[in-house]
Amino acid sequence: MSFDDLSAELELRKQQSLYRSRRTLQTAQQPIVQVEGREFLAFCSNDYLGLANHPEVIRSFQQAANKYGVGGGASHLVNGHSQAHHELEEALAEFTGRPKALLFSTGYMANIGAVNALLDKRDAIFQDRLNHASLLDAGLLSGARFQRYLHNDADSLDKKLAKTDARRHLVVTDGVFSMDGDVADLPALSSVCKKHQAWLMVDDAHGFGCLGQQGGGCAEYFAMPNDDLQVLVGTLGKGFGTAGAFVAGSDALIDTLVQHARTYIYTTSMPPAVAAATLTSLRLLKEETWRRDKLTQLIKQFRQGCSELGLTLIDSPTPIQPIMIGESSKAMQISKILEDDGIYISAIRPPTVPQGGARLRVTLSAAHTEEQVNRLLHALEKVS
C-alpha cells in the first residue's frame, strides 16, 4: 500500500462528517461579513475586542508600510529586526510586567520554539489533556518525556510530577482553552510546580485583551507574580487584532530563546508594519476598557439566553461560548440551518475536540451589538 488510499480516506472523512472545507471571506473581520457572495452575521472570529478592522490600527499599518515596506526581509538575527519590532517587544515586556519579550511569526512557532529551546530527552514535560495542538506538537518534538494530566486538575499533575526524575520539569497549559473557553487554574498549577521545582508555561492566546483590568490576560486575572509563571506566551491575532505572537519572561529565558529557538532563528520576521499596527492595538486594548466591559455584558446576555433555551454550555467566563451538540453530523446540520438563516458559526468536530464532543463554537466580540446577540438567540431557538 502506497498513497493510493488517500482518496478513500478522504471519502471516509466525508461520510463521518469530519471533512474540513475552507470558506472564502470577502470582507474585513467584523460582525457582518460576506462569505462567497453572501452576507452573514458571524459569530466565529477570534477578534474579541473588534480591533482587527479598527481605523487607527489600519492607519498605523499603512504608515509603517510606507516607511518599512511590506516584508521583514530576513530573520531577526540577520537584518530583519526593525525599530518597529524592537519597540513592540519593549512595550509587550512592560505590558506583561516581564523583563523581556520576544516576537515570533505565529503562536504555533512561539510554542514550538520555546519548548524545544528549553527541553531535550533528559527532561520531562507535563501537559493538560485539552492543550492546543501547537503545545502538544511542541512537547512531542522536544524529545522530552511526555505526560498529560487530567484537564485543569492540579492533583493529577502533582501525582505525575512526584514520579519523575528528569533534569528539568516543564508544566504547560493553555490560559484559556480555545475550544471550551474555560480558564486554567493557574494558582493551583503554580503551587504544584513550586513543590516539584518545575517551571510553568502558559499559552494565553485567548486570554490577552479579554481578561484582567487592563487586558493583561490570565496572569493579571489571577494577579500572579512573575516567579509563579516563568514562560508566558501570547498571540497577537486574537484580542490584539493583528498577527504574530510573543514570549515574555526573564532575561535568561529570552536570551536562551534567541540562541536556541529554531522557529525564531530560522524564519523571516513578521512584517514591520504588523508590529507597528500592534503597538496601536496594545494602546487601545489598555485604554478602551469599555471593550472588555461590553464583552462581559454580551457574554452574560448570551449565557442567560441559552439557559432559557435549555442549551448546554461549558462554564466559560470568556468570549468563547461553545454550544455542546455531541454528534458531528448533528453539529454540521445545525450549522447549516443557521447558515440558511444568515448566521455564520463553525461546527467544531473531532479530532479538534474529543469524540462525541462536537459543538458550535460561538465567539463574541466587543464589535457585536445586543441586537445581534438577540438575533443569534432567536435563530438558536428555532433549532433547539
CB burial of residue 324 (10 Å; 0-12, 13-18, 19+): middle
Closest CA to 171 of 93, 279, 159, 41: 159
CA 102 – CA 218 distance, rounded (Å):
19
CA distance 164 to 259: 28
Establish whether 178 is a catalytic residue.
yes
Q: Which helix (H) or strand (E) holds 377?
A: helix 370-383
Grid cell at residue 19:
471533512
Per 3-state DSSP, the chain is made up of helix, strand and coil in percentages (nearest 5) of 40, 15, 40
Positive or negative, the CA dihedral 89, 242, 22, 313 is positive
Q: Kindly state the DSSP code that residue 228 receives in the 8-state scheme.
A: G
Query: Which residues contribute to the annotated binding site for pyridoxal 5'-phosphate?
Result: 107-108, 178, 206, 235
Give the length of the chain. Answer: 384
Beta strands 245-249 and 231-235 are antiparallel
Grid coordinates representing 161? 510530577
Q: Closest Cα to residue 176, out of 148, 147, 207? A: 207
The question of whether 238 is a catalytic residue gets the answer yes
Query: Which position has the grid cell 493557574?
Result: 186
Binding residues for substrate: 20, 132, 352
Catalytic site includes residue 206: yes
7 membership: H or E segment, kind and range: helix 6-15
Catalytic site residue from 142, 156, 178, 346: 178
CB 54 within 8 A of CB 63: no
Beta bridge partners of 182: none
Alpha-carbon distance 99 to 9, whole Å?
Answer: 49
Q: Which of 238, 269, 328, 346 is catalytic?
A: 238
Phi-psi domain of 210 (left: phi exceeds 0; alpha: psi -120 through 50; beta: other): alpha
Which of 169, 206, 294, 368 is an active site residue?
206
Question: Cell 520555546 maps to which residue?
Answer: 114
What are the residue numbers of the active site?
178, 206, 238
